[in-house]
């Protein structure tokens, strides 16, 4: 009897049943969720140094730049995914020559603040919380339907 419960076939069956149960529960929860709620996108204020009204480039130039930005961003995301996948293998290798490739590591010249140590110093001297500033806003580009713009105007 014990052998029956611990066999690989039984384990697969139990895992399958549990997976189906979890999937059914997730479907039930999703069905209770409100229908198609558009996510709220926080919009940051425009930075300084933007074009003045008389400096604005032509709409065609803006469209071309936006399309190129979107294409390049998509390529960068794909390249990052490929780089991360390759790095999973390469990070675990000891330094050495593997076929036509030499794998080695060099120390980084970049530095970053040690926030744990800074926080400790601030607390030790009663200086309150560590001052922080927000990062720069991210530039986002998305295609819109021209018909939708005409209706909005």
Rounded mean pLDDT of the chain?
Answer: 82
Find out whether 152 and 77 touch, Cβ atoms under 8 Å.
no
Q: Which of 16-20, 55-59, 87-91 has the lowest mean pLDDT?
A: 16-20
The residues, any chain, with a CB within 8 Å of residue 139's CB and separated by 6 or more, are: 69
Report the pLDDT value the prediction gives residue 47, as an integer from 0 to 100.
85
Q: How much is the average pLDDT of 95-118?
A: 92
Q: Which of 27-31, 64-68, 113-117, 148-152 has the lowest mean pLDDT?
A: 148-152
User: Is the pLDDT assigned to residue 62 strictly greater than 90?
Assistant: yes
- The continuous run of DSSP H or E covering 98 comes out as strand 96-98
28/10 Cα distance (integer angstroms): 27
Question: What SS3 class is residue 102?
Answer: strand
pLDDT higher for 29 or 99?
99
Find out whether 138 and 131 touch, Cβ atoms under 8 Å.
no
Confidence at 37, pLDDT banded by 50, 70, 90: low
User: Is the pLDDT assigned to residue 16 strictly greater than 80?
Assistant: no
4/11 Cα distance (integer angstroms): 10
Report the pLDDT value the prediction gives residue 48, as an integer from 0 to 100.
86
pLDDT higher for 105 or 146?
105
Task: Using the structure block, give the residue that is written with the tokens 């204020």.
Answer: 45
């Amino acid at each position: 009897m014990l052998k029956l419960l611990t066999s690989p076939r039984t384990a697969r069956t139990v895992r399958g049943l549990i997976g189906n149960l979890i999937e059914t529960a997730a479907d039930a929860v999703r069905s209770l969720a409100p229908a198609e709620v558009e996510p709220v996108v926080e919009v940051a204020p425009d930075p300084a140094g933007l074009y003045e009204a008389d400096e604005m480039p032509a709409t065609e130039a803006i469209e071309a730049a936006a399309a190129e930005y979107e294409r390049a961003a998509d390529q960068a995301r794909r390249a990052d995914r490929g780089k991360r996948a390759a790095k999973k293998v390469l990070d675990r290798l000891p330094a050495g020559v593997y076929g036509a490739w030499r794998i080695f590591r060099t120390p980084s010249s970049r530095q970053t603040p040690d926030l744990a140590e800074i926080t400790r110093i601030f607390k030790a001297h009663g200086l309150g919380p560590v001052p922080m500033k927000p990062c720069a806003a991210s530039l986002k580009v998305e295609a819109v339907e021209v018909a939708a713009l005409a209706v909005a105007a």
